[in-house]
Amino acid sequence: MNTERDTEQQSTPRVALVTGGTGGIGRAVVERFAADGYAVAVHYAGNQARADELVERITAAGGQAIAVGGDVADEAAMAAAFDAAEAAFGGIDVVVNTAGIMILGPVARFDLDDLDRMHRTNIRGSFVVAQQAARRVRPGGAIIGFSTSQTRLQHPTYAPYAASKAAVEALTLVLARELRGKGVTVNAVAPGPTATPLFLDGKDQQTVDTLARLAPLERLGTPDDVAETVAFLAGPARWVNGQTVYVNGGIA
């Protein structure tokens, strides 16, 4: 027999906060969560209009969503974003940090100001979001960070970016162990070449075609491919913990 509390839990949607929720992969994750019945806090860094448009589309379809803004590397801004999600939906069950930037170049000539800017978002930002998530995600929840398959592929010009994402992988297992006994899983997703504006920017068609042929499946990944893995880690994958899942079609 279901208790009143059981009934309440069943009728209350899980709540997800997705950073970078207006980007290619982030948007696909938000849309997947909304389709799965989650209430979603859609985070944006600079384009509130895109976040508001996505929220409006979700709510028009009968879902629950709000937009929250701020620099992921700013702890006060992220605390406010988490506060807003909790105020709107009563708590947070899943945090997905897709926010990141990618600047490519050879080590010998790489601009150190670009290195600092990228690492501020990709390393400090990942840490700030993970810190808030570790304090707030409810038992039974999940924290999901984003790495890259370039930590294995290690193609030239990717060293600064891959280094910033290797930090995410290091954070993942340690945080999973630190949350022992709390019923919260911590994992990272490491996409391979995925057809997003971030990935395609600055690449000519020949380069894109070459990268598409790397996978045995002979295509680029799609944001929906990645969102499917995120949905698995956020919900049914309760025995996957402290792992980096490479979502790349078999490249590495």
Active site residues per annotation: 161
**pLDDT at position 134, please?**
98
CATH class of 13-247: alpha beta
Average pLDDT of the chain is 93
| Angle made by CA atoms 232, 70, 248, in degrees to the nearest 5 | 30
CA–CA distance, 71 with 19 (Å, rounded to integer): 10
Taking only the tens place, the pLDDT of each residue in 23-76 is 999 999 999 999 999 999 999 998 999 999 999 999 999 999 999 999 999 999
pLDDT of res. 1:
40
Residues in the chain: 252
- How much is the pLDDT for 6? 43
pTM of the complete model: 0.93
CA–CA separation, 232 and 129 (whole Å): 20
Alpha carbon distance 107, 103 (integer Å): 12
Kindly state the average pLDDT of the residues 106-122. Answer: 98
Q: Where are the domains of the chain?
A: 13-247
Please give the share of the chain, as a percent, with pLDDT higher than 90.
Answer: 85
* Per-residue model confidence (pLDDT) at position 111: 98
User: How much of the chain is helix, strand and coil, in % rounded to 5?
Assistant: 50, 15, 35
For residues 252 and 174, give the distance between their C-alpha atoms in angstroms, rounded to a whole number.
Answer: 23
What average pLDDT does range 179-205 have in this prediction? 90
Look at the block and give the residue holding tokens 């050879």.
106
